[in-house]
Structure 1
Amino acid sequence: MNHVGRKGRLFVVVSMLLLVLAGCSGKPYLSALTPQGENGEMLYDLMMLTTVLMTIVTLVVVLIFIYVATKFRRTKQKENMIPKQVEGSHKLEITWTVIPIIILLIIAVPTVSATFKLDPKQIDIPEDAIHVNVTGKLYWWEFEYPDEKIITSQDLVIPAGERVYLSLIAGDVKHSFWVPALAGKIDVNTDNENEMWIHAYNEGVYYGKCTELCGPSHALMDFKVKVLSKEDYNKWLADMQKPTEVPVDATAKAGQEVFAKSCIGCHAVDSNDPRPAPARLAPNLSNFADRERVAGIKELTPENVHAWIADPEAMKPGNKMSNTYKLNPDEIEAVTQYLLTLSKEAK
């Protein structure tokens, strides 16, 4: 019976460990353990340093515990034996005071150094550096390129191999900006602007998340960082600065008319729309058809676009679109077709 009980306990322990390990991701686009940029690599090195040190400390403590528990365990032969008392030993007190100080210094020096390197205010920013204003809102992200006069949403596009400097602020409640593979987390506040820089070694798509509980759809407040070659990035900038094309399809034209009567009050369909930041109430849709996700979470398909417009609350609870215009099925279909024509990229 005891044998079966031990097996059962072992099974439970192993199962729990497997569940914990299942939460780890080896995919570079969503893991801080596979850094893909300068910023992320610095933080990874700090994590590894502290992990190795704490592992050594844990092993030493466990070995000492096993040694003491074995050597000084009570037996019939040593029932009345009292080990040598070391209370007041200056050597021991100095030892267990100095060792933690050394460990803290080993951690503190590279941590402070990295803190200064990661703070844009502490480094010289090149005149031609790329600046992006990031605004977190319920439950989406806006990215404004002030020098290029471009505004987009949900997708932060940057060139590979360059530092991009971000100014972050929240438009409603507090959020937090995190791209695990590329950079550490930073608070996005409503009353003050925070700054950071981000860097990617290689081209690709890396996923980011809001990590500050901000409402019922906090877990769905995702975004992407699209890293392009310098040539492709410059082309993307040029494409985004082009005016939005007028749809040719009759259904899409009807959708444009419906959009102009209802959605245009919150959404813009021009990447350099001049409206001020407080009036940008909803994501800019100028390159909607070029995105991979609807509402940042669902695959971009006509069915998902239709479902989002018909019932945004079902897809993303608590979003501000849920209490606005209600369209009939024909209008929803027309707007869906219109949105799928909003492309800036050459096909």
Structure 2
Amino acid sequence: MKRLTKWRLVSLFAIMTLILSGCGEPFLSALRPAGEVAQEQYELMLLSTTIMVSVILVVTIIFIYVVIRFRRKKGEENKIPKQIEGSHKLEVIWTVIPILLLLVLAFPTVALTFKQADVSPMDKLNEDGTRDALVVNVRANLYWWEFEYPDHGVMTGQELVVPTDEKVYFNLISSDIKHSFWIPAAGGKLDTNVENVNQFYLIFDDDKANEAGNLFYGKCAELCGPSHALMDFKVKAVSRDKFDKWIADMEGAGEPEPETELAQAGEEIFNQSCIGCHAVTPQDPKPAEARLGPNLATFGERSRIAGILEHNEEELRDWLKDPETHKPGNLMTGKYPELKDNELDALVEYLMGLKVEK
């Protein structure tokens, strides 16, 4: 009965593993690449996995053969087999083969590492001081992300917008502790540190972006506190024409103008309680040290609230009431007075109306 119970548990866990392996949305995994960088890294993973599995299979086959071929037979318990000390042929074989396998893995690994580490176009300036490469400054914070487009003078929070089918270069830095910038479908993670800037590039495939609904998932991949698992962001990958239009809208955006009396009342509350940490225009002149909260210029167009909640008025109201419940350890908790229901309604109306795209 005990053996039967154990086998039932093993079967149950096996079935659960198969079921869970099919969960989730498309392009949430590094095993489903959606760009050149991710595809190259995926192929390298396949190569290394193939080599490792092949070695395991060969060793297993040899092990089984030895166990069967040289097992002790009945009636020969006291017989001592012929002792053979060393074999130069075998020693050469099991020394040369691992070296060859390491070389097969090392050459493409080193070549790919140097290729993907080339960020020299970031430093190439034209005669007018502009550059052809698209550069995004990424700043990680507890527990949110800021994205700045230095050549265009605009920034946004929690949602990164990039063009497809071209290299997008990133400067990565942290404003507090170590985090890690990771878009699984686009490429491997890279740490964001306080003391230095890390650089790399990614490419987002247009066909895969369309298949994913032009929205990819990003997150922090370095344990950074109680809400590490909730430090998410979204990536909108669009065609170059749509990206240029978005940049133009962001560059031309001015101060928001509330359209309703309720939104106007919400603007007053915002200016009294929130403006010290949040900006409502894409052009935020404050230095990085003074940008304590995400830029809210495009808040009404986002797909998520705080990176994790559904984008609707009810979820926003819950977030404003008690952000600590949704993101423990966040720096917004306790930074503004408790709001009455009518004040929450006004603030929600104002925030939901913050839009840039025309």
The partner residue of 2:69 within 54, 68, 71 is 71
Aligned positions of 1:281-296 closer than 5 A: 281-296=292-307
Contact map agreement 2:263 2:349 (CA 8 A) in 1: yes
SS across alignment from 2:354: coil
Contact map agreement 1:244 1:342 (CA 8 A) in 2: no
Counterpart Cα distance in 1 of 2:99 and 2:23: 34
What CA deviation, in whole Å up to 9, does each residue of 1:239-269 have, x standing for no partner?
1122133102111100100101110000000
Counterpart Cα distance in 2 of 1:333 and 1:124: 45
Question: Counterpart in 2 of 1:252?
Answer: 263
Counterpart Cα distance in 1 of 2:115 and 2:75: 62
Q: 1:24 to 1:95 in 2, by over 3 A?
A: farther
Quote how far apart the aligned CAs of 1:331 are. Answer: 1.8
In the alignment, structure 2 segments of 5+ residues that lack a partner are 125-130
Work out whether 1:151 is the aligned partner of 2:163.
no
Question: Counterpart in 2 of 1:62?
Answer: 60
Counterpart Cα distance in 2 of 1:86 and 1:139: 64
Question: Counterpart in 2 of 1:199?
Answer: 203
Contact map agreement 1:179 1:208 (CA 8 A) in 2: yes
Aligned amino acid, residue 224 of structure 1: K
Work out whether 1:304 is the aligned partner of 2:301.
no
Work out whether 1:170 is the aligned partner of 2:174.
yes
What CA deviation, in whole Å up to 9, does each residue of 1:248-293 have, x standing for no partner?
2111100100101110000000101111111111000000000010
In the alignment, structure 1 segments of 5+ residues that lack a partner are none
SS across alignment from 2:187: coil
What CA deviation, in whole Å up to 9, does each residue of 1:171-199 have, x standing for no partner?
10100011111010111111110001011
SS across alignment from 2:233: strand
**Deviation larger for 240-249 or 276-285:** 240-249
Counterpart Cα distance in 2 of 1:220 and 1:88: 58
Question: Counterpart in 2 of 1:96?
Answer: 94
Counterpart Cα distance in 1 of 2:76 and 2:25: 56
Question: Counterpart in 1 of 2:344?
Answer: 332
Counterpart Cα distance in 2 of 1:181 and 1:52: 21
The partner residue of 2:34 within 36, 54, 61 is 36
Quote how far apart the aligned CAs of 1:326 are. Answer: 1.9
Scaled by the length of structure 1, what TM-score is found? 0.94
Contact map agreement 2:180 2:221 (CA 8 A) in 1: yes
Counterpart Cα distance in 2 of 1:122 and 1:233: 23
Instruction: Please tell me the root mean square deviation across aligned C-alpha atoms, in Å.
Output: 1.8
Work out whether 1:343 is the aligned partner of 2:347.
no
Question: Counterpart in 1 of 2:127?
Answer: none
Work out whether 1:14 is the aligned partner of 2:24.
no
Equivalent pairs, count: 343
What CA deviation, in whole Å up to 9, does each residue of 1:141-172 have, x standing for no partner?
00000001011011111011010000000010
The partner residue of 1:235 within 245, 256, 275 is 245
**Deviation larger for 121-130 or 231-240:** 121-130
Aligned positions of 1:216-227 closer than 5 A: 216-227=226-237
Contact map agreement 2:161 2:236 (CA 8 A) in 1: yes
**Deviation larger for 260-269 or 67-76:** 67-76
Aligned positions of 1:205-220 closer than 5 A: 205-220=215-230
Q: Percent identity?
A: 50
Contact map agreement 1:135 1:141 (CA 8 A) in 2: yes
Counterpart Cα distance in 2 of 1:215 and 1:65: 46
